[in-house]
Amino acid sequence: MTKLKWGMIGGGAGSQIGPAHRLGASLDGLFEFTAGALDHRPEEGVRYGQTFGLGNRAYGSWQEMLSSEKALANPVDLVTIATPNSTHFEITKAFLEGGFHVLCEKPMTMTVEEAEEIVKISDATRKICAVNYGYSGYSLVRHMRAMVTRGDIGKIRLVNAEFAHGHHADAADADNPRVRWRYDPKQAGVSAQFADCGIHALHMASFVTGQVVTKLSADIVSCISVRELEDDAMVNFRMDGGAVGRLWTSSIAIGRQHGLGIQVFGEKGGLRWSQEQPNQLFYMPLGGRMQVIERGEENLSPEADRATRVTIGHSEGMPLAFANIYTDLAEAIRALKGQRDIDPSANLYPRAEDGLRSMAAVFAVAESGKQKGTWVDARPPMFS
């Protein structure tokens, strides 16, 4: 099977997210790194692209890449956008309209209006616009979703999600430019910790339950008082299938590393999963005993099986979760090329609608936070 051709915008030398995407895209041999505009400095972008063997498809700018690739007989099949947040909208829009499938880093845009526009363009062009809520790629997260879907724990009553870390807890480091921009509304937009981390937990709540957030109430605080934007937030929410939600996110939680986790409680059972111990899923049926579901167990769901590479007892970590987003995209792209149906167990990548709903939630959190926790509509206008 020929590899799909893959291109990247951003992710230059020294970037953290660039290598993670290259790892995820290449890991299963489904994509070949073919083209890229890896730096905002044209010469550096070309130079760095050539270290990956991109040859004359190492471009000096995304505009150049767009026009050149469009002109080729065999242009790239998928473009990953890993540029600064404020540029996501413009580049995503341009590539979708140029006829390319896109995987955009989160956030997809900086406003709800822009996000709605992307959704519409993606629909109109029938081009994939995926958004990288990559933690949904873990096989046991997908298995949670499958268990909920098939009714193993009954109607969902409550979701409790969190994403806590302590990496911005040092007040003496608050002015460090590497940290400061995240709490500056001019650079980060209307929200800091919720938009950066909490949104992953909120996406996961939707992903696992199959429900979308309808309204929410937020309590946001800046524990380090020089920050304009929040470093800690508690969000209560409601979902369209009746589930109640609680979500805590923090960047001052000293002792937590990358504490994304979720608990889901239904009428017939409960489930618990944590990003830092991703190979076990804790399941308790009503009236029963806690059971440990192991990644790689026999007879899990098709969704879990498809997202599993090594046998039980061997941990799979975050890079493989990430790679699962790419395998889904490969499947989706091939399906579109072949005009065939996508394997439903592979049709799980987060998409423009998720990016839009996330953006609406970010703005709702900011608004409710300003208004002392007033409940606000969290749905984007086009879905309300």
Is 226 a residue that touches a second copy (CB under 8 A)? no
Tell which one of 8, 20, 112, 304 touches a second copy (CB under 8 A): 20
The helix/strand/coil state of 351 is: strand
Judged by CB under 8 A, how many residues of this single chain contact a second copy? 86
CB of 282 to a second copy, least distance (A): 6
Task: Quote the CA–CA distance of 344 and 341 in Å, as a whole number.
Answer: 8
Contacts of 90 (CB under 8 A, 6+ apart): none
Place of tokens 């929040």: 230
Q: Which CB, 121 or 284, lies closer to a second copy? A: 284
Annotate 178-206 with b (16+ C-beta within 10 A) or e (fewer): ebbebbeeeebbbbbbbbbbbbbbbbbbb
Place of tokens 């005993």: 289
Distance of CA 354 to the CA centre of its chain: 9
Is 252 a residue that touches a second copy (CB under 8 A)? yes
Kind plus residue range of the DSSP H or E element containing 201: helix 199-209
Tell which one of 36, 49, 269, 355 touches a second copy (CB under 8 A): 269
Q: Which CB, 118 or 264, lies closer to a second copy? A: 264
Q: Which CB, 11 or 117, lies closer to a second copy? A: 11
Is 375 a residue that touches a second copy (CB under 8 A)? yes
Is 275 a residue that touches a second copy (CB under 8 A)? yes
Is 211 a residue that touches a second copy (CB under 8 A)? no
* Piece in contact with a second copy (CB under 8 A), picked from 74-82, 141-149, 288-296, 324-332: 288-296
Is 72 a residue that touches a second copy (CB under 8 A)? no
CB of 21 to a second copy, least distance (A): 12
* Piece in contact with a second copy (CB under 8 A), picked from 90-98, 99-107, 199-207, 242-250: 242-250
Neighbours of 71 (CB within 10 A): 8
Is 336 a residue that touches a second copy (CB under 8 A)? no
Tell which one of 248, 273, 326, 349 touches a second copy (CB under 8 A): 248
Q: Residue 159 in contact with residue 263, Cβ under 8 Å?
A: yes
Annotate 280-304 with b (16+ C-beta within 10 A) or e (fewer): ebbbeeeeeeeeebebbeeebbebb
Is 290 a residue that touches a second copy (CB under 8 A)? yes
Is 176 a residue that touches a second copy (CB under 8 A)? no
DSSP state of 2: P
Annotate 15-35 with b (16+ C-beta within 10 A) or e (fewer): beebebbbebbbbeebbbbbb
Is 228 a residue that touches a second copy (CB under 8 A)? no
> Which residues, 299 to 318, sit near a second copy by CB under 8 A?
309-318
Is 14 a residue that touches a second copy (CB under 8 A)? no
CB of 248 to a second copy, least distance (A): 6
Q: Which CB, 234 or 360, lies closer to a second copy? A: 234
- Structure token digits, residue 20: 């993670």
CB of 99 to a second copy, least distance (A): 26
CB of 284 to a second copy, least distance (A): 3
Task: Quote the CA–CA distance of 28 and 227 in Å, as a whole number.
Answer: 42
